Structures are given as structure tokens and as C-alpha cells.
């Protein structure tokens, strides 16, 4: 069996079409690591079908850490917001929460499991929600969800991206320091 594969470039360059043999017994035939298999229709259809098969929460989890509007300067030629712009908003918002939690300067040391579930368009109101999942001696693990209110569709929020950011508290010289805990 063969399937057409559409590969997203690092800068969302035009999609390149390739053909690949697939295993009919694969656990989920519509997605492979870093690629989306599409047998017919627009590329977002396979992504949306996969997203709809997962359970998505009905409302945001965590506290609102940043809210902004996607502007034309943040988009690719197709009008979708660059994933890197969205990731930077997530890093800014979760960094605010990490700094407030640690009561110190923090640095981003890792990102895990970043998933782009739906595209973000110009005019969408982008809201990042975050919570502290774990506090280590010097580090904090902070999951982030990005919800948008579509342009001209007031009141309806859609989950578009999620990921986990890991921060380390540092001193002025950039050396790791213990996270200051409440009551300590």
C-alpha cells in the first residue's frame, strides 16, 4: 500500500509531496513522526481528523499568563501563524509563571511534547494558560495550553497548541540555584 505524504518544511515552505510505503497494521495510519500522511483532501484534514479523535478539554486549564492578537507580520504566505511565533508566546507566558514561582531569574532549558493541533489565523486572540506541574530542587516543569478566540467568532475558544516547558532558577551569574519554596 502506498500513500502520499506532505512534509512541512521548517519555515512552512510549500509542501513537498512524497510517496511512501505504509504498514497497513500501523496504530494510526494518518500520522507519522514529523510528517502527515494524506491520501486525499487538504493537509489540515488529516491533522483535524486526528485531533478530533483525541479528547480535548472544553475549557482552558491553568492560569492565563499571556494574551495577544496574531498579526499579519506573524504569518507565512498562506496566512497561518508561524509555529515559532506561537512557541515564543508560550515561552514568554510560562517564563513569567516560572519566575513568579521561583522568586528568581529563570532560564528555559527544555521543551517537551509540543503539539500544534490547529492553525492560528490573523486576528485570532491568542491566550496562553500555564500551571506548575512539578518543582524540583532547581527546576520547574510547566505545561502550557494555547487557546484562541477566532477572529469575529467571539466567545468560542479553541485549543490549538499544547506543550511542556522546563525552567531552571539561576543566580546573576547564570548558575543554578534552589527554587524558593513558600514557607521556606
Do residue 84 and residue 157 come from a single domain?
yes
183 pLDDT band (50/70/90 cuts)?
Answer: low
Query: Are the beta carbons of 159 and 124 closer than 8 angstroms?
Result: no
User: Using an 8 Å Cβ cutoff, are 9 and 36 in contact?
Assistant: no
Q: How many domains does the chain have?
A: 2
| Mean pLDDT score, 117-143 | 96
Task: Let me know if residue 163 belongs to a domain.
Answer: yes
Asked if residue 139 belongs to a domain, the reply is yes
Q: Among residues 153, 8, 126, 157, which one has the least CA distance to residue 76?
A: 8
pTM of the predicted protein model:
0.68
Rounded to whole angstroms, the Cα distance separating 2 from 18 reads 10
Which residues have a Cβ under 8 Å from the Cβ of 87 and sit 6 or more positions away?
111, 114, 163
Asked if 146 and 126 touch (Cβ cutoff 8 Å), the reply is yes
Q: Label residue 7 by pLDDT band (50, 70, 90).
A: very low
Same domain, 46 and 119: no
Residue 177 lies in a domain: no
Tell me, what's the pLDDT at 34? 37
Whether residue 34 is found in the same domain as residue 107: no
- 81 and 33 housed in the same domain: no
Work out the average pLDDT over 103-116. 95
Q: Which residues contact 56 (CB under 8 A, 6 or more apart)?
A: 117, 159
CA 7 to chain centre: 19
In the prediction, which pLDDT does 47 show? 42
pLDDT higher at 148 or 1: 148
Domain carrying residue 92: 63-170
Per-residue confidence (pLDDT) for residue 77, from 0 to 100: 86
C-alpha cell at 53: 479523535
How many Å apart are CA 31 and CA 141, to the nearest integer?
Answer: 27
CB 142 within 8 A of CB 99: no
For 87, 93, 139, 143, the CA distances from 97, given in Å and listed in that order, are: 15, 7, 13, 11
- Which helix (H) or strand (E) is 100 found in, with range? helix 83-102
Identify whether 179 is part of a domain.
no
Amino acid at each position: 500500500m502506498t500513500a502520499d505524504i506532505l512534509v512541512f518544511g521548517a519555515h512552512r515552505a510549500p509542501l513537498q509531496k512524497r510517496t511512501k510505503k505504509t504498514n497497513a497494521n500501523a496504530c494510526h495510519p494518518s500520522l507519522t513522526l514529523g510528517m502527515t500522511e494524506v491520501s486525499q483532501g487538504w493537509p489540515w484534514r488529516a491533522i483535524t481528523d486526528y485531533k478530533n479523535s483525541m479528547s480535548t478539554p472544553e475549557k482552558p486549564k491553568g492560569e492565563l499568563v499571556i494574551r495577544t492578537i496574531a498579526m499579519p507580520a506573524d504569518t507565512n504566505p498562506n496566512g497561518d501563524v508561524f509555529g515559532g511565533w506561537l512557541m515564543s508566546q508560550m515561552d514568554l507566558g510560562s517564563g513569567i509563571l516560572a519566575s513568579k514561582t521561583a522568586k528568581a531569574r529563570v532560564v528555559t532549558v527544555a521543551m517537551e511534547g509540543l503539539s500544534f493541533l490547529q492553525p492560528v489565523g490573523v486576528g485570532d486572540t491568542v491566550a496562553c494558560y500555564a500551571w506548575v506541574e512539578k518543582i524540583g530542587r532547581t527546576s520547574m516543569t510547566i505545561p502550557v495550553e494555547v487557546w484562541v478566540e477566532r477572529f469575529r467568532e467571539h466567545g468560542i475558544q479553541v485549543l490549538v497548541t499544547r506543550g511542556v516547558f522546563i525552567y531552571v532558577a539561576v543566580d546573576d551569574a547564570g548558575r543554578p540555584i534552589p527554587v524558593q519554596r513558600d514557607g521556606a
